[in-house]
Structure 1
Amino acid sequence: MDKLKNIDSELFMFFNGKHNAFFDVIMYWASDKLFWFPLYFILLLIIIKLYKKKSIGVLIAIGILITLCDQTASHLIKNTVKRLRPSHEPALENLIHLSEAGPGGQYGFVSSHAANAFGLATFLILLLPKQFNWLKWAILIWAILVSYSRIYNGVHYPSDVIVAAIIGILYGYLVKMLLLKFQPNSRI
């Protein structure tokens, strides 16, 4: 276990150390949930246009998905594991690059940003028809960017993000399958 923690810390220091003034701004905003509201609004419009009355079920499914991802990451796992964020780790105190957003809460395993982003990305990638393959790629890149920004900004180790991404992918798949079960024989 110590060897894995050392590898995680070394990877964190490598990725966190690759900062510059240009990417500092981009990664700060990539981690800001409010910054992505225009994207969410565009996705909302696409869902409503594609699924019309059935979009209510899709939006309820997304609400359930985000709640599952967020509560699992932010409350269940973080409060059980209680692993300090790198920004709160005394051994890394003067070694890390921390963004203007600050150090975040005390515990970091797992990243709720990454769980939420990958959950939504997986759900939408499975939901949207082939004509939106370009958007599927954009959503995947968005999830990766949000997740990577958490390491870059100094508030998560790579394992925090990787495990959270797996959780998000699993929940995204599960919620999509449940949506199909409750809306059979539909275009969804």
Structure 2
Amino acid sequence: MNIENFPLNVELFYLINHARSSILDTFFGYFYLLGKGYVLIPIAFILIVSKNRRWKLFLLSVAVESATVHLLKFGFDAPRPASMLTDVYLLEPLYHRSFPSGDTAMAFLIASFFFPVSPPLVRVLLWAYAFLIAYGRIYIGAHFPLDVIAGATIGALSYKLCERLVHSKLIGWW
């Protein structure tokens, strides 16, 4: 199902994807790797080894976010920008299942999870990280704006939902 093909989504994609700079090409050519799922492994490891009482909440939030993203990706099977548009600057060659952005969802989940327990400067850095991942997904040609907006929403809401479930004691193994 192509939910991507509406004028504002395509125009915003081209606006960001065509704002080329060799500095940004280099930056996002590496920074996008910090949005990949393997980033979750050291975070979970550190939370568990340090006996952080929130490690179960983190793993539950990741499970909810990942399941939601995958269900939507396979449910919509939306094309990537390079599959439906011409003149796409593509730094990460992806062509299938664009909606929603899983990298963006993960980044916003991480920012949302650590925000309540972080000092002000770290909070700013967390949101800068999340927004740069989202912007970078469009810049490198992997996603449309709709994809990253949906991903950001899924990441933040997955954490908030799980946090509420845990605090309301609806989940008994906490």
CA–CA distance in 2 between the matches of 1:35 and 1:167? 16
Partner of 1:29: 30
Residues 135-144 or 169-178, more deviating: 169-178
Q: Secondary structure at the match of 2:6?
A: helix
> Letter of the aligned partner of 2:58 in structure 1?
I
> Letter of the aligned partner of 1:63 in structure 2?
L
1:164 corresponds to 2:151: yes
Partner of 2:172: none
Shift of 1:13: 0.3
Q: Under a length normalisation based on structure 1, what TM-score does the superposition of the two structures give?
A: 0.76
Shift in alpha-carbon separation, 1:179–1:120, aligned structure 2, 3 A: farther
CA–CA distance in 2 between the matches of 1:176 and 1:110? 22
Shift in alpha-carbon separation, 1:42–1:167, aligned structure 2, 3 A: closer
Partner of 2:97: 107
Partner of 1:176: 163
Q: Under a length normalisation based on structure 2, what TM-score does the superposition of the two structures give?
A: 0.82
Which is greater in Rg? 1
Percent of counterpart pairs with the same letter? 25
Contact 2:98 2:142 in 1 (8 A): yes
Partner of 1:124: 114
Shift of 1:114: 0.8
> Letter of the aligned partner of 1:112 in structure 2?
G
Partner of 1:186: none
Contact 1:121 1:172 in 2 (8 A): no
The one-character-per-residue Cα deviations of 1:141-169 (angstroms, maximum 9, x if unpaired) are: 10101111100010100010001111111
Shift of 1:125: 1.0
Contact 1:98 1:153 in 2 (8 A): yes
CA–CA distance in 1 between the matches of 2:168 and 2:40? 28
CA–CA distance in 2 between the matches of 1:42 and 1:119? 12
Match 1:79 to one of 68, 71, 74: 74
Trace 1:37-116 onto structure 2 (pairs within 5 A): 53=51, 55=52, 57-73=53-69, 75-89=70-84, 92-93=85-86, 95-99=87-91, 101-102=92-93, 104-116=94-106
Match 1:143 to one of 130, 138, 156: 130
> Letter of the aligned partner of 2:60 in structure 1?
I
* Structure 2: unaligned runs, 5 residues or longer: 170-174
Q: Secondary structure at the match of 1:31?
A: helix
Shift of 1:120: 1.7
> Letter of the aligned partner of 1:86 in structure 2?
P
Alignment RMSD, CA only?
3.1
Shift in alpha-carbon separation, 1:152–1:122, aligned structure 2, 3 A: same
> Letter of the aligned partner of 2:71 in structure 1?
L
CA–CA distance in 2 between the matches of 1:42 and 1:108? 26
CA–CA distance in 1 between the matches of 2:71 and 2:158? 15
* Richer in helix (by share): 1
